[in-house]
Structure 1
Amino acid sequence: MKILITGKKIELTDGIKGAVEDKLSKLDRYLHEDTEVKVTVSARKAKQKIEVTIIPINGPIIRAEDSEENLYAAIDVVYDKLNKQLRRYKNKLKGKYQSKGQESIRFQNIEDNAAEDKDGEFDIVIERHKKFDMKPMSPEEAVLQMELVGHDFYMFRNIDTDEISIVYRRETGGYGLIEHE
């Protein structure tokens, strides 16, 4: 596991780096050795925030974040969130199938040596399917359409790139754009 730690508006001391690396290294049992783990530590007024994104070789991207007055408490909370998510994905890997004949979703590159969750498995059920026409438009037009329909995101075909893109409303205000790489 490769841990990359960056700081925003905070000086990263050896103690902070060591605490993050020590805590996240416990997740090694779930992850392939080439898995990239990006950690961002930031400070705002009295709150310390830590964001962790795990980018596996194959499988889903796993992300967790937390803000606390004490950075070390935030590190513990994020570790607990990631550990729970990885255990769930590991259980899914064991080949548990969903009921009612639905296909199982399989996740890869998570090793098989962690403790079982009490509930054993979880089901992913897609409750609604939706199809719609996508006329080419600019990201600005897509934001206007998103506001008109009252959603927090809007998928559209970008007129400049002819690719599918998504605009979304950010929690901190403003808008974001997601594009295919």
Structure 2
Amino acid sequence: MRFNVRGENIEVTPALREYAEKKIAKLERYFTESPNANVHVNLKVYQDKKTKVEVTIPLPNLVLRAEEVNTDMYAGIDLITDKLERQIRKHKTKINRKSREIGRKELFVTNGNVSKEDSIETDNDIEIVRMKRFDLKPMDSEEAVLQMNLLGHSFYVYTDAETNSTNIVYRRKDGRYGLIETV
């Protein structure tokens, strides 16, 4: 893994860089061979002394991504590593099974450094408990945001009146709104 550690409103010290690289490099034990990936680590400090750690690891057919807000940068890096490990364990069985079905080499370790309880997880963890159908009404993004707020949801799917394509508006963690346009 090649690391790209950068800071926003913070100078990345050699000790901080080394700590982040050391912790995230431990994830390599989950892979059959060391992945040829560029690991992007983004460290931010806000005015209220909160820190945010974002890690993105693009892999073939999978992108591992996690972010954590904490008052201590080092604790945030520890929590990010835990989140990424959970993601890897969650996807390990499913991805290895699909790889075997189509005859590709497995991406994750099947045995070895991973504990027994980690390999017990199956695809049964994902269960759809409710299904809804609705008509997409043509509207603009502002009306979609109003509808979303009226319903008390965190996202809303609609048909854009101008482009006639399906779009999604959503409420971001910072309280503002985002728009996803389909192509």
- What is the TM-score of this pair, normalised by structure 2? 0.76
1:174 to 2:176 alignment:
yes
Residues 30 and 108 of structure 2 are in contact (CA less than 8 Å); yes or no, is this contact kept in structure 1? yes
Q: Which residue of 2 aligns with 1:27?
A: 27
Whole-Å separation in 2 of the counterparts to 1:158 and 1:18: 47
Instruction: Determine which of 149, 154, 157 is the counterpart of 2:159.
Output: 157
How many corresponding residue pairs? 169
Q: Which residue of 2 aligns with 1:69?
A: 71
Whole-Å separation in 1 of the counterparts to 2:67 and 2:95: 24
Whole-Å separation in 1 of the counterparts to 2:182 and 2:76: 32
Q: Which residue of 1 aligns with 2:102?
A: none
Go from structure 1 to structure 2 and tell me whether the alpha carbon gap of 1:33 and 1:95 turns closer, same or farther (over 3 Å shift): closer
Q: Which residue of 1 aligns with 2:126?
A: 124
Q: Give the number of the structure whose residues are more often helix, by fraction.
A: 2
- Alignment partner of 2:56: what SS? strand
Whole-Å separation in 2 of the counterparts to 1:109 and 1:179: 32
1:160 to partner: Cα distance: 4.2
1:3 to partner: Cα distance: 3.2
Whole-Å separation in 1 of the counterparts to 2:3 and 2:162: 36
RMSD of the TM alignment (CA)? 2.6
Residues 2 and 33 of structure 1 are in contact (CA less than 8 Å); yes or no, is this contact kept in structure 2? no
1:38 to 2:36 alignment:
no
Go from structure 1 to structure 2 and tell me whether the alpha carbon gap of 1:111 and 1:155 turns closer, same or farther (over 3 Å shift): farther
1:16 to 2:19 alignment:
no
The AA in structure 1 aligned to 2:16 is I
Whole-Å separation in 1 of the counterparts to 2:162 and 2:28: 42
1:56 to partner: Cα distance: 2.6
Residues 48 and 67 of structure 1 are in contact (CA less than 8 Å); yes or no, is this contact kept in structure 2? yes
Whole-Å separation in 2 of the counterparts to 1:42 and 1:134: 39
Whole-Å separation in 2 of the counterparts to 1:68 and 1:143: 30
Go from structure 1 to structure 2 and tell me whether the alpha carbon gap of 1:155 and 1:67 turns closer, same or farther (over 3 Å shift): same
Whole-Å separation in 1 of the counterparts to 2:11 and 2:163: 39
1:48 to 2:51 alignment:
yes
Instruction: Determine which of 107, 114, 128 is the counterpart of 1:109.
Output: 107
Gaps of 5+ in 1: 97-107
- Alignment partner of 2:4: what SS? strand
Go from structure 1 to structure 2 and tell me whether the alpha carbon gap of 1:116 and 1:168 turns closer, same or farther (over 3 Å shift): same
Instruction: Determine which of 79, 89, 92 is the counterpart of 1:90.
Output: 92
Residues 51 and 64 of structure 1 are in contact (CA less than 8 Å); yes or no, is this contact kept in structure 2? yes
Give a deviation string over 1:25-47, Cα, whole Å, max 9, x none.
12123356244433221112332
Whole-Å separation in 2 of the counterparts to 1:26 and 1:38: 15
1:143 to 2:141 alignment:
no
Residues 91 and 116 of structure 1 are in contact (CA less than 8 Å); yes or no, is this contact kept in structure 2? no
1:175 to partner: Cα distance: 0.9
